[in-house]
Amino acid sequence: MTSSLPASSAASVLDLAPAPVVPVVVVEDAADAVPLARALVAGGLPAIEVTLRTPAALDAIREISGAVPEAVVGAGTVISPEQVTACAAAGARFLVSPGWTDVLLTAMCACGLPFLPGVSTTSEVVALLERGVRDMKFFPAQAAGGTAYLRSLAGPLPQARFCPTGGIGPDNAPEYLALPNVCCVGGSWMVPREAVRARDWPRIEGLARTASRLTAGGTCR
């Protein structure tokens, strides 16, 4: 029998996200981190997931954490205990992983930060529930079955709450947010790469403001 892991003492990631959309951000130049975060916050999206896909990611988290206190900055694409430690030291306030293992899950639980382990199958959801984890990232959302899959999980597994990410944009985000087991969605449509590279912060703020007007219709909020 699998024993449950110690629960994190911090608030849930899903409770830290006051807006229904979490921007998933790739930062190539740490100098862009602060103005980018300020644009997202001004647009109404304060919970920001900075993915560990570039060498600048940890510096970006550190810069946002120190200079934009109104932002709730977290780390995404966390796949190792070493990254858990580094992200916590950089000032991340939550962690998101594309998937999980027992080793990674133990490290995330022990760090004290709220976290979202990634799932794409029913068995993974049940395994996390057995371990006392009920808040999860559904990834890659569209490729793994989309809204039809999540709707099917709501009946037998109503205690599981999801933040779908992967293939979500302004056209299908409302359909996800209408589900009873979806609390928020993650996406990058409000931070298009060309706008970041051009440092077009007003455009990003406008896209964020539009995204922040979406509402979650489920019981998570």
The gap from C-alpha 6 to its chain's centroid, in whole angstroms, comes to 21
How many degrees, rounded to 5, is the angle at CA 135 between CA 33 and CA 181?
105
Helices then strands, counting H and E runs in the chain, come out as 10, 9
82 is a catalytic site residue: no
Q: Which residue is catalytic, options 28, 63, 124, 137?
A: 137
**Buried residues in 121-146 as b, exposed as e (16+ CB within 10 A):** eeebbebbeebebbbbbbbbbbebbb
Q: To which residue do tokens 């981190």 refer? A: 33
Say whether 124 is catalytic.
Answer: no
> Within 121-221, where are the H helices?
122-130, 146-154, 173-177, 193-197, 201-212
Q: Of 28, 49, 194, 205, which one is the catalytic site residue?
A: 49
Residues 6+ apart with CB under 8 A from 77: 51, 52, 53, 96, 97, 98
Angle between helices 33-42 and 201-212 (to 10 degrees): 40
Active site residues: 49, 137
